[in-house]
Amino acid sequence: MTDTYRRILLAARPHGLVDGATLRLDATAAVPDPGEGQAVVRVSHLSIDPTIRTWMDDAPGYLPPIGIGEVVRSGGLGEVVASRSDALQVGDTVVGMLGWQEYSLVTGGDGSTTVVPPGLDPAVVLGVLGVTGMTAYFGITDVGGVAEGDTVVVSGAAGATGSVAGQLARLRGAERVVGIAGTPEKCAWLTGELGFDDAIDYRVEDVAARLRATCPGGIDVFFDNVGGAILDACLANLALRARVVLCGAISQYNEDRPVGPRNYLNLIVTRSRMEGFLILDYLERFPGAQLEMARWVAEGRIHHREHVVEGLERAGEALNLLFSGGNTGKVVLAL
Interaction between residue 254 and its own copies (CB under 8 A): no
Q: At its nearest, how many Å lie between its own copies and the CB of residue 86?
A: 34
37: left (phi over 0), alpha (psi -120 to 50) or beta: left
> Hey, what long-range contacts does 60-69 have (CB within 8 A, 24 or more apart)?
62/278, 62/280, 66/10, 67/10, 68/10, 68/11, 68/12, 68/13, 69/9, 69/10, 69/11
Among 2, 268, 299, 300, binds its own copies (CB under 8 A): 268
Among 17, 259, 321, 334, binds its own copies (CB under 8 A): 259
Torsion of CA 108, 100, 333, 168, to 10 degrees: 60
Interaction between residue 108 and its own copies (CB under 8 A): no
Spatial distance between the Cα atoms of 309 and 72, rounded to a whole number of angstroms: 17
Q: At its nearest, how many Å lie between its own copies and the CB of residue 265?
A: 6
Residues 123-162 that bind its own copies (CB under 8 A): none
Q: Would you say 14 or 78 has its CB closer to its own copies?
A: 14
Residue pair 39/106 in contact (Cβ under 8 Å)? The answer is yes
Interaction between residue 239 and its own copies (CB under 8 A): no
Contact stretch for its own copies (CB under 8 A) within 78-86, 98-106, 181-189, 266-274: 266-274
Among 8, 88, 234, 247, binds its own copies (CB under 8 A): 247
Q: Would you say 196 or 282 has its CB closer to its own copies?
A: 282
Residue pair 18/319 in contact (Cβ under 8 Å)? The answer is yes
Among 85, 270, 290, 328, binds its own copies (CB under 8 A): 270
Residue pair 18/316 in contact (Cβ under 8 Å)? The answer is yes
Q: How far apart are the first and last CA of the chain?
A: 23
Number of residues interacting with its own copies: please give it, by CB under 8 A.
33
Interaction between residue 31 and its own copies (CB under 8 A): no
**Site of interaction with its own copies (CB under 8 A):** 60-62, 227, 232, 246-249, 252, 257-278, 281
